[in-house]
Structure 1
Amino acid sequence: MDFIKIKNILTSRIGSECIVDEELNALQPALIIHPDFLLAVCKELKENRETWFDFLSCLSGIDYGVNEGFGVVYHLSSIPYKTQLTLKVKLENLRDGSVLPSVDSVSTVWRTADWHEREAYDLLGIFFNGHPDLRRILLPDDWAGYPLRKDYQDAESYHGISIN
């Protein structure tokens, strides 16, 4: 299954507005998906017998920088067709903490997304709408902030214990 054919399947089944851009010159070509269409795109890629991306091998949250915003990268594999595909979603640059950047959870499509999304939430503060149990996975529940954000300031102590 080639990249262009996958793109054509998505645009014909969901609409051309689901794909915002594409990265063809990277080591792994990627489709940039509009956040509003992510769940529909993922369902189509998994359920369509021509693509059959049955495995989400990795999901990573990204902070592109304090002036750029956030993103999520999805690495998909089709085990029967021996094909891989990278999807990217770019999110708003929300940093004040009162509202988190958000995108729909794909844990209903691939169960393995559950813990990957929790990690992106815990370390970057990306909220996944519809996630069944979105809570911290690596840090204590009362930890302040999101340590993988580029603007994160290390705390001096936690519960009276010096961190530095």
Structure 2
Amino acid sequence: MMFAEIKQLLIDKFGADVIEGEETGGLQPALLIAPDSIVDVCLEVRNNPTTYFDFLSCLTGVDYGVEDGRFGVVYHLASMPYQLQLTLKISKAHNREEAEPVFKSITSVYRTADWHEREAYDLVGIFFEGHPDLRRILLPDDWEGYPLRKDYKTAEYYKGIKIDF
């Protein structure tokens, strides 16, 4: 099944509003999905016998920068039996003065999302609504800030120990 066919399958199932755009200029094309629909879309492409994207190989949190004021999540899916790959992206505007940006968790669809979402939370500060155990996974629990945010200021000390780069 080709990219255009997968796109049409999702439009037929959920309506045209489910796809906010597409990126076809890179090595791997991506569908830009409406953020609130990501769980349903992942469930459909996993369970549909014509696609069967049974493996979440990577999930990445993205800070598009202070000027853009957006955060997003990129999902790399693979269909082992059909040897296909699919990239889905979601994003939304977010005011940095508010709490963390919030997206729906897909742990109910892909169990591997558990640690991927925890990493995105830990390093980018994206909160995943419905995650069963969202807490830091790489940094200490008392670490302040999110190191992969564009506006992150590196601390000089942690618990009295100089952080030397």
Q: Deviations over 1:48-72 (max 9, x none)?
A: 1111100001111111111122111
> Aligned letter for 2:113?
A
1:108 corresponds in structure 2 to: 108
1:65 counterpart SS class: coil
Asked whether the 8 Å contact 1:67–1:93 carries over to 2, the reply is no
1:137 counterpart SS class: coil
Distance 2:137 2:102 in 1: 18
User: Shift of the alpha carbon at 1:155?
Assistant: 1.1
1:158 corresponds in structure 2 to: 158
1:90 corresponds in structure 2 to: 91
- Pairwise CA RMSD of aligned residues? 1.0
Asked whether the 8 Å contact 1:122–1:137 carries over to 2, the reply is yes
> Aligned letter for 1:143?
W
User: Shift of the alpha carbon at 1:15?
Assistant: 1.4
> Aligned letter for 1:145?
G
Distance 1:16 1:41 in 2: 13
Distance 1:34 1:104 in 2: 11
Paired positions, count = 163
2:57 corresponds in structure 1 to: 57
Give runs of aligned pairs for residues 1-164 of structure 1, distance below 5 A: 1-68=1-68, 69-96=70-97, 98-164=98-164
User: Shift of the alpha carbon at 1:156?
Assistant: 1.6
> Aligned letter for 2:52?
W
* Superposition misfits of 4+ residues, deviation over 6 angstroms: none
User: Shift of the alpha carbon at 1:94?
Assistant: 3.2
> Structure 2-normalised TM-score?
0.95
User: Shift of the alpha carbon at 1:3?
Assistant: 0.6
Q: Percent identity?
A: 60
1:109 counterpart SS class: coil
> Structure 1-normalised TM-score?
0.96
Distance 1:46 1:94 in 2: 33
Distance 1:47 1:136 in 2: 31
Q: Deviations over 1:3-60 (max 9, x none)?
A: 1110111011111111000011111000000101111101001011111100001111
Give 5+ residue unaligned stretches, structure 1. none
User: Shift of the alpha carbon at 1:93?
Assistant: 2.7
> Aligned letter for 2:24?
L
1:134 counterpart SS class: coil
